[in-house]
Copies of this chain bind each other. A is one copy, B any other.
Amino acid sequence: MVATEPTVYRVIGTRPVRPDGVDKVTGRAEYGADVAPAGVLFGRVKRSPHAHARIRRIDTSRALALDGVKAVVTHADFPTVEDAVADIGETTSNFRWVLDNVLASTKALYYGHAVAAVCATDLHIAEDALELIEVEYEVLPPALNVHDAMADGAPLLHEQLRTAEMLSRFVPGPDRSEHPSNVASHLRLERGNVDEGFAEADVIVEGEFETAMTHQGYIEPQNGTAFWNRDDDLTVWVSTQGPFSVREQLSKILRLPLSKVRVVPTEIGGGFGGKLPVYMEPVAAIMSRMTGRPVKMIMSRTEVFTSTGPTSATYVRAKIGAKRDGTLVAAEAYLAYEAGAYPGSPAGAGAMCMFGSYDIPHQAVDAYDVVTNKPKVQAYRAPGSPQATFATESLLDELAERLAMDGMELRLKNVAREGTRRTDGAPFGAIGAEEVMLAARDSPHYRSELAGEHTGRGVSMGFWFNAGLESSAYASTNGDGTVSLVVGSVDIGGQRAALAMQFAEAMGLPYEAIKPQVVDTDSIGFTGVTGGSRTTFATGWAVYEAAMDLRSRLEERAARIWSVDRDAVDYGADGIVRGPDGKQLTFAALCARLASTGGMLQGHADVSPTTVGPAFGCHVVDVAVDPETGKVEILRYTAVQDVGRAIHPAYVEGQIQGGVAQGIGMALNEGYVYDADGRLVNASFLDYRMPTALDLPNLECVLVEVPNPGHPYGVRGVGEVPIVPPLAAVANAIHDAIGVRVRRLPASPTELLRESLGE
């Protein structure tokens, strides 16, 4: 670890065992599939075999007549949902569209779009019943990529959709296009004068880049079990990154007060952004209301691929201009991101991130959100940034070549620092972009010699702004000096440990004294999603503030016990409360006296941080390309990242390694393949090829710690930025190895062979 500021912590920076570890390795942890309330019914979904079709008629009578079938639902069984928009995590959604995606209303908009659902006493009966639901379609021509969708005369997905001119990433302005369009919105970010900028440039590089639609590939399929009680109390057990977000979506879609919806988050087998929206939960809820019994639904792997939210396939055109000495003067880009069937791609985030690592005086980015006849995209780890950054970092590689400069030196020369303005004009605070570049340059990997034929080295930066959002925490003392800590952030990457550690640090207690627990939406204050790299940061802050609240109450109690002035008592960082005249009590000793002096004490806090800590990574990769087959082998990979402060370094490294692996998948292997009619033809882990442990070397991590001044422990989000650099890093390494500039990902053997043959 490269620490820029020496701070001594007792708990932070250690690597204790996670509280949920034993449960998970022994198979005891409760996942959604384990939920089995008495009298449960099993639900299945009937899905569209067409990419674009008008639904003329749905006849459910034969299915309903099947013995064991308890209910069949279509869109018509749902209440009318208001056209309200809410931020449900990293993306903003319109609840009417959310419901339309849950069960299609007038049109099926993608292959696998849900059109009806059934529940039965047995899963197999439910499967059989699907065959008995008759749907009459009028098949329409699909728009399967941004080019087709934006073309004149393109088939329109939504007859009423007008292009919105966005004021910012989530705020549409008053201007709308005159005619309906598949372009849901256009956002322009601008800084300086880009035309003047390019006029100053001595060298200009430009290019077109494309990336495929890729899936998060979490191990656990989506699932949800709902029980709608006769008094309209709805309980939903679900694998989700955001129980409060699920609660809000259900409340809006089902028209229930928030307090009537209780969402119980089960353990979660991965999400990466894909487990923010609802799919089957509202359907299970409605079928539970119809039947008076709990209804459980689990997706198959095929359904996960066809019908949940992958990330956008993208088309990016970019141009960068520099002075002869390597000073960047202008950058411009055009981004068209597929949203899938409903508006809401991460094009805006791509626009915000793509030039974020650098200080470029003149910039302009136009980002287009384009609906296509594919599943509605959802957040996927730093959503939007990898695709746009692929363009930036490929072009910088080319620019360095053109200027005969070392790529790392070119980047260092232009690196963003505190005060540098981002593409959207906002200035950076304390950031570690330069520190990660320097650490990458000085790393054993970058200093090593690369040997062998058809081998190459690539470098790329990556930037992600990270999220804040609200978090709550509640802590209760126990008489024996232990503490029960309650949070609402579901634990995906070791949050229980990372939160207990920050609480222990704040209280001056050993990690083992803290028992963290993730509870349902009725049992803790509002807490945003586990996503946006925000949990260790924001919920960590909440547990810190809860500790401060508790410390203050403990000081007050000690003062009362000692009959001294409250201000004369101080709770120390070592967990000892000190008063005047050498009076002192350890936390445990004070806890033992609480019951008899007025009762046990608790602390609580709610935070909504506005000072998030942006994160930067610099990756170095060595590859070998087999010229016969086009297969790319990753020889060595080093990810350097500014993590602010690594609370639990092992879990930080795990996040980085996971992000890198997914980025390499995007670079080399992964991509949705559709036939001409818009049917997904590789909807299985066999055909949709993610890198496995066998495909990759050990992924080396270098943690740089430039503490985030906007957090009590300097934490920055760490989970997302590592997926950003691999696309360009690998592409640049391939170019270094065989001289081919890959512009279209994944750089599969087929693609590489085609490129190297000049096709």
Contact = CB atoms under 8 A, between A and B. Distances in A.
Contacts of A480: 251, 257-259
8 contacts: A17-B231, A19-B231, A21-B231, A472-B602, A477-B525, A484-B521, A486-B523, A599-B608
A56 interface: no
Interface stretch (A421-429, A454-462, A511-519, A722-730): A511-519
Given A513-B259, A519-B519, A523-B484, A599 B606 contact: yes
A585 interface: no
Contacts of A482: 257-260
Contacts of A548: none
Interface in A468-482: 470, 472, 474, 476-480, 482
Interface in A226-281: 227, 229-231, 233, 248, 251, 257-260
Interface of A: 17, 19, 21-23, 26, 28, 34, 36, 38, 227, 229-231, 233, 248, 251, 257-260, 292, 470, 472, 474, 476-480, 482-484, 486, 513-515, 517, 519, 521-526, 595, 598-602, 604, 606-608
A258 B478 contact: yes
Contacts of A517: 522-523
Nearest to A248: B479
Nearest to A591: B258
Question: 5 nearest interchain CB pairs?
Answer: A259-B482, A599-B608, A526-B600, A259-B515, A22-B231
Copies in the complex: 2
A231 B19 CA distance: 9
A476 B244 CA distance: 12
Contacts of A479: 248, 258, 526
Given A229-B23, A519-B523, A521-B484, A606 B601 contact: yes
Given A229-B23, A258-B479, A482-B258, A600 B522 contact: no
B519 A28 contact: no
A599 to B, nearest CB: 3
Given A258-B482, A259-B515, A595-B608, 9 more contacts: A17-B231, A28-B227, A36-B36, A248-B479, A260-B515, A474-B602, A477-B525, A602-B606, A604-B604
Contacts of A23: 229
A602 B602 contact: no
B595 A484 contact: no
Contacts of A229: 22-23, 26, 28
A424 to B, nearest CB: 20
Nearest to A538: B599
Nearest to A515: B259
A470 B38 contact: no
Given A259-B484, A480-B251, A470 B230 contact: no
Contacts of A595: 470, 526, 608
Given A23-B229, A482-B259, A600-B470, A526 B38 contact: no
Contacts of A17: 231
A607 B599 contact: yes
A2 to B, nearest CB: 34
Nearest to A484: B522
A497 to B, nearest CB: 13
Nearest to A18: B231
A622 to B, nearest CB: 41
Contacts of A227: 28
Contacts of A514: 259
A436 B23 CA distance: 57
A599 B21 contact: no
A273 to B, nearest CB: 21
Given A259-B513, A478-B259, A480-B258, A600 B525 contact: yes
A595 B88 CA distance: 13
Given A482-B257, A526-B476, A608 B604 contact: no
Contacts of A604: 474, 602, 604
A478 B470 CA distance: 13
A22 B230 contact: yes
Contacts of A476: 472, 524-526
Contacts of A607: 599
A477 to B, nearest CB: 8
A74 to B, nearest CB: 27
Contact of A599 (B292, B470, B483, B513): B470
Contact of A38 (B34, B38, B602): B34
A604 B595 CA distance: 17
Contacts of A513: 259
Contacts of A515: 259-260, 522
B526 A599 contact: yes
